[in-house]
């Protein structure tokens, strides 16, 4: 069954007549040094896994067998066995890893190391370090193009999206965006890259061919100061029609119409919302709310928050089993 799901995901096909399915979500708790495991049928925390210090970026390996979690203060990425739900290994990242991206085959992992202005390349099979790429000050956001040829890294103090050719591991272009870019996301059709700027308060939309900012998403919430609107995580539906943007201390998720680049709705979630993940059937979107120590569950079709789940302290990243 898992295998079938994966094939569906990889080929980018819409899934038809998917059966009601329970999924498992993994949430990194930055302050507790734990990962909370959530069952999406009962919407309860079924297990809390002890990990290294300051867990943030989290994702599954492509085969669904492991959860990788960047534990920044231990300067490594830990591997959690998804079957036993225990830490079984670690990867040789550079200092202070935060976010990472992997290629479509799940062979190479690219890690942003905030402390030394580099992106580290790791061979996932051998679990060895292949090399480093020099980027701007405080690398953070990471995404890879659907064809795997271009890696995008954002640097928080340089305020750029660096376009890196994955074959030569050289930077081919640098695109200036608004202040403190934190997260990058490709449209599934590869036509645009969306980059959130936490301090700038915008999402820049970049044409990955021309390496130019071709548009911006702006946010305005009545009664809220502009400074409180700090975009971080971005999630895009598989049909590329709707994007969800976490607005940090604005405590809201913005729903954006991708075609017009306009916000259609704001959903109130928990405090300081960081990141998000869809269930594989895209029925639900789960967001991590740092300050209120919980996860909000959004019904994607109804565009409503239906549930709040208490997790560990300062929940940051989230990944859902494929």
Partner 1 sequence: MIRWLLGLIGLGLAATQALAADPVMIGVGYLGVAGTRSTLSLVEQPAENDGFAGARLAIEDNNTTGKFLNQRFTLDERRIKEGEDVVQAATALAEKNGFIIADLPADALLKVADALRDRGTLLFNAGAIDERLREADCRSNVIHTAPTRAMLADALGQYLVWKKWSRWLLVVGSHDEDKLFADALKRAATRFGAKIVQERSFEDKGGARRTDSGVTLIQRQMPVFTQQAPAYDVLVAADESEVFGAYLPYRTWDPRPVAGSAGLVPRSWDPAQDQWGAIQMQNRFVKLNARRMTALDMQAWTAVRMIGEATSRTNSGDVKKVADFIKGPDFSVAAFKGTRLTLRDWNLQLRQPILLVDGRMVVSVSPQEGFLHQVSELDTLGYDRPESKCKLK
Name the residues that contact partner 1, by CB under 8 A: 96, 114-115, 117, 136-138, 155-160, 162, 171, 173-174, 176, 179-180, 198-201, 209-211, 225, 227, 249
- Give pairs for 19-24: CB < 8 Å, separation 24+: 21/280, 21/281, 23/279, 23/280, 23/320, 23/321, 24/82, 24/320, 24/321
Closest approach of partner 1 to the CB of residue 188, in Å: 21
Helix (H) or strand (E) holding 48: strand 44-50
Closest approach of partner 1 to the CB of residue 306, in Å: 29
Closest approach of partner 1 to the CB of residue 138, in Å: 5
Helix (H, G, I), strand (E, B) or coil at 15: coil
Closest approach of partner 1 to the CB of residue 160, in Å: 6
Q: Beta strand pairing status for 108-113 and 118-123?
A: antiparallel
The nearer residue to partner 1, 125 or 220, going by C-beta atoms, is 220
Closest approach of partner 1 to the CB of residue 314, in Å: 11
Longest C-alpha distance within the chain, in Å?
53
The nearer residue to partner 1, 72 or 235, going by C-beta atoms, is 72
Helix (H, G, I), strand (E, B) or coil at 6: helix
The nearer residue to partner 1, 126 or 225, going by C-beta atoms, is 225
Short-list 100, 97, 78, 98, CA closest to 87:
78
The nearer residue to partner 1, 67 or 175, going by C-beta atoms, is 175
Give percent helix, percent strand, percent coil of the chain, each to the nearest 5: 5, 55, 45
Q: Using CA atoms, how far apart are residues 242 and 175, in angstroms rounded to an integer?
A: 24
Closest approach of partner 1 to the CB of residue 8, in Å: 32
Short-list 178, 133, 180, 174, CA closest to 155:
180
Residue 163: CB atoms within 10 A of its CB come to 20
The nearer residue to partner 1, 180 or 283, going by C-beta atoms, is 180
The nearer residue to partner 1, 136 or 280, going by C-beta atoms, is 136
The nearer residue to partner 1, 29 or 102, going by C-beta atoms, is 29
Q: Using CA atoms, how far apart are residues 156 and 259, in angstroms rounded to an integer?
A: 27
Closest approach of partner 1 to the CB of residue 73, in Å: 9
């Amino acid at each position: 069954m898992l295998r079938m799901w994966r094939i569906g995901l990889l080929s980018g096909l819409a899934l038809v007549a998917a059966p009601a399915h329970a999924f498992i979500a993994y949430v990194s708790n930055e302050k507790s040094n734990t990962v909370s495991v959530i069952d999406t049928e009962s919407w309860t925390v079924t297990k809390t896994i002890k990990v290294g210090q300051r867990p943030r970026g989290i994702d599954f390996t492509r085969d669904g067998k492991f959860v990788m979690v960047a534990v920044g203060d231990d300067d490594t990425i830990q591997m959690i066995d998804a079957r036993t739900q225990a830490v079984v290994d670690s990867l040789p990242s550079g200092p202070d890893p935060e976010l990472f991206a992997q290629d479509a085959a799940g062979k190479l992992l690219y890690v942003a190391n905030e402390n030394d202005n580099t992106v580290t390349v790791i061979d996932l099979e051998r679990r060895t370090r292949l090399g480093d790429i020099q980027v701007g000050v405080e690398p953070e956001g990471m995404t890879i193009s659907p064809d795997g040829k271009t890696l995008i890294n954002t640097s928080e103090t340089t305020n750029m999206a660096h376009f890196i050719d994955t074959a030569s591991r050289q930077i081919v272009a640098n695109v200036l965006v608004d202040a403190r870019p934190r997260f990058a996301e490709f449209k599934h059709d590869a036509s645009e890259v969306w980059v959130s700027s936490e301090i700038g308060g915008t999402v820049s939309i970049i044409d990955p061919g021309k390496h130019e900012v071709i548009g911006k998403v702006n946010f305005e919430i009545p009664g809220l100061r502009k400074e409180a609107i700090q975009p971080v995580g971005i999630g895009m539906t598989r049909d590329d029609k709707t994007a969800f943007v976490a607005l940090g201390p604005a405590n809201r998720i913005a729903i954006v119409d991708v075609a017009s680049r306009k916000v259609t709705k704001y959903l109130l979630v928990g405090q300081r919302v960081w990141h998000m993940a869809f269930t594989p059937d895209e029925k639900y979107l789960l967001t991590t709310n740092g300050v209120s120590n919980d996860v909000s569950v959004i019904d994607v079709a109804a565009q409503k928050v239906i549930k709040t789940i208490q997790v560990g302290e300062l929940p940051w990243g989230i990944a859902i089993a494929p």
